[in-house]
Amino acid sequence: MEVRVRGDRMALDLAEDFSRFKVVMCDRTATSFASHQLSLEPSLTLADKDTAWVSLSWLRTTGPADTHWQTGLDQMVAKAAPHGWISADGSAVKAHLEWAEVAPQVSDSFRLAMRRLAATPCLITTMSAGRRHGMAATSVTSLSFDPPSILVCVNAQASIHDPLRAEGRFCANLMGGNHDALLGAFSGELKGEARFSLGDWQVQANLPYLPDAQANIFCSVAEKWRYGTHSIFVGQVESVRTDGELDPMVYLDGRKGRFAAV
Ligand SMILES: Cc1cc2nc3c(=O)[nH]c(=O)nc-3n(C[C@H](O)[C@H](O)[C@H](O)COP(=O)(O)O)c2cc1C
139 ligand 1 Cβ < 6 A: yes
Three-class secondary structure of residue 130 per DSSP: coil
* Long-range contacts formed by 252-258: CB under 8 A, 24+ apart: 252/115, 252/116, 252/117, 252/118, 252/119, 253/115, 253/116, 254/115, 256/180, 256/183, 257/177, 258/177
Does residue 47 contact residue 88 with C-beta atoms inside 8 Å? no
pLDDT tens, N- to C-terminus, the chain (262 residues): 899 888 778 899 888 888 889 998 887 777 666 666 656 878 998 888 889 999 999 999 999 988 999 999 999 999 999 999 999 999 999 999 988 777 777 878 999 999 999 999 999 999 999 999 999 999 999 999 999 999 999 999 999 999 999 999 999 999 999 999 999 999 999 999 999 999 999 999 999 999 999 999 999 999 999 887 899 999 999 999 997 899 999 999 999 999 999 9
pLDDT at 19: 85
**For a substitution probing ligand 1, which of 124, 138, 224, 256 has the most ligand atoms within 8 Å of its CB?**
138
- C-alpha 192 to ligand 1 mean position (Å): 13
Residues 6+ apart with CB under 8 A from 76: 1, 18, 21, 93
The distance in angstroms from the start CA to the end CA of the chain is 58
- Looking at the structure, do residues 205 and 143 belong to the same domain, yes or no? yes
**Is 50 part of a structural domain of the chain?**
yes
Residue nearest to atom 23 of ligand 1 (CA): 158
- Looking at the structure, do residues 126 and 242 belong to the same domain, yes or no? yes
Number of domains, the chain: 2
pLDDT at 35: 62
**Is 84 part of a structural domain of the chain?**
yes
- Looking at the structure, do residues 14 and 92 belong to the same domain, yes or no? yes
Distance CA 16, CA 22 (A): 13
pLDDT at 107: 79
**Is 109 part of a structural domain of the chain?**
no
Locate all alpha helices (DSSP H) within the chain, ordered by sequence: 37-40, 56-62, 67-80, 104-114, 161-167, 180-184
Residue nearest to atom 15 of ligand 1 (CA): 187
Listed in order, strand segments (DSSP E) in the chain are 2-6, 9-13, 22-25, 44-48, 51-55, 92-99, 122-128, 131-137, 141-145, 148-155, 169-174, 202-204, 207-209, 215-227, 230-242, 249-252, 255-258
CA 19 to chain centre: 35
Does residue 243 contact residue 212 with C-beta atoms inside 8 Å? yes
pLDDT at 186: 98
- C-alpha 194 to ligand 1 mean position (Å): 16
**Is 104 part of a structural domain of the chain?**
no
pLDDT at 229: 82
Residue nearest to atom 14 of ligand 1 (CA): 137
257 ligand 1 Cβ < 6 A: no
- Looking at the structure, do residues 166 and 64 belong to the same domain, yes or no? no
**Is 110 part of a structural domain of the chain?**
no
The residue range of the domain holding 60 is 2-99
Domain containing 184 — which CATH number? 2.30.110.10
The type of residue at 7 is: G
